[in-house]
Amino acid sequence: MPAALAKLPDGAWMSLPRISAAFAPRVKYAEPMSRHTSWHVGGPADAFFTPADRTDLIAFLEVLPPGTPLFWLGLGSNLLVRDGGIRGVVIDTTGLDRLEAVDATTIYADAGVPCARLARRCIGLELGPAEFFAGIPGTLGGALVMNAGAFGGETWPRVRAVDVCDARGRERRRDAREYSWSYRRLVPPVPGEYFLGAVLGFEKQPGLTEEAMRALIARRKETQPIGEWSCGSTFTNPKGDHAARLIEASGLKGHRIGDIMVSTKHANFLVNVHAATAADVEKLVAHIQTTVAQKFGVTLTPEFHVAGETR
């Protein structure tokens, strides 16, 4: 039996090689999450595990002591990790990268597949609508969690079934109809399950090329700070309006707290201009919410997820 994963005095979790040396090459300790988030902020994760594939992941979960805190990570977009870091184990899903055609109109993709890669594969197979995936700066797993979308499309209308597991590594397949979804929101049938992959359905859509997809992305680059350190869109759009319009009309374009700034290119993007902290991000988010609420009576809802502890 594996040894217990005891707590150290500083709150870090004891090294996982004491459970099984087989996983040691794929585990890092006190790993700065700023290296793994698109905002480039975030304190250390106690342990950071990158599985080689799904089999490796399930084997790892099976030997973890019950109750070990888990946090599942894709490409780190739409995510704010607080400055105190993440207790327990971060699961880096980018090693889950299987992507294959099931039949003429169906694709299977692992949770760690980047959405842009999924879009390119669908276009190569003349399947659509799928080009919107190219505008989602994350993995399919993250897109499933928040029903991500771009260019007028969103993830869950394409989902036919998902593969999930629980914290002990027990797997199952669920029909998409077991989930409730809406704009940037998903309600799972059972809490505590994690996405391993999904079966996605499309229609034959000949004529769309990678050049057309690149043109869509180029148009986005003209109006958004693509390539700068941001999490993507900061707030969801309120019904009948746009968060960017409300923020800009409140005079907040270019407003800065520490090294986090409202983009001068698109007001719904907050950009880390050098060495921002998560605390600075949360202060600026709160300031924007207060200012917009006072001016327009609208409470903006953050689109990004928050994880970890304050310092």
Q: Annotated catalytic sites, by residue?
A: 184, 233, 303
181: left (phi over 0), alpha (psi -120 to 50) or beta: beta
What number of other Cβ atoms are within 10 A of residue 103's Cβ? 7
Where would I find the beta strands (DSSP E) of the chain?
A: 27-32, 44-49, 70-73, 79-81, 86-92, 99-103, 106-110, 127-128, 149-150, 153-154, 159-165, 171-175, 180-182, 185-187, 194-201, 203-204, 256-257, 260-262, 270-272, 305-307
Tell me which residue of 49, 122, 126 sits closest to 91, measured CA to CA.
49
Say if CB 91 and CB 36 are below 8 A apart.
no
295 touches 280 (CB < 8 A): no
Residue 113 near residue 97 (C-beta atoms within 8 A):
yes
> Dmax over Cα atoms in the chain, in whole Å?
61
Question: Which residues are CB-contacts of 185 (< 8 A; sequence separation ≥ 6)?
Answer: 146, 147
DSSP for 74-111? SS-TTEEE-TTBEEEEEEEGGG---EEEEETTEEEEET
Determine how many CB atoms are found less than 10 A away from the CB of residue 72: 17
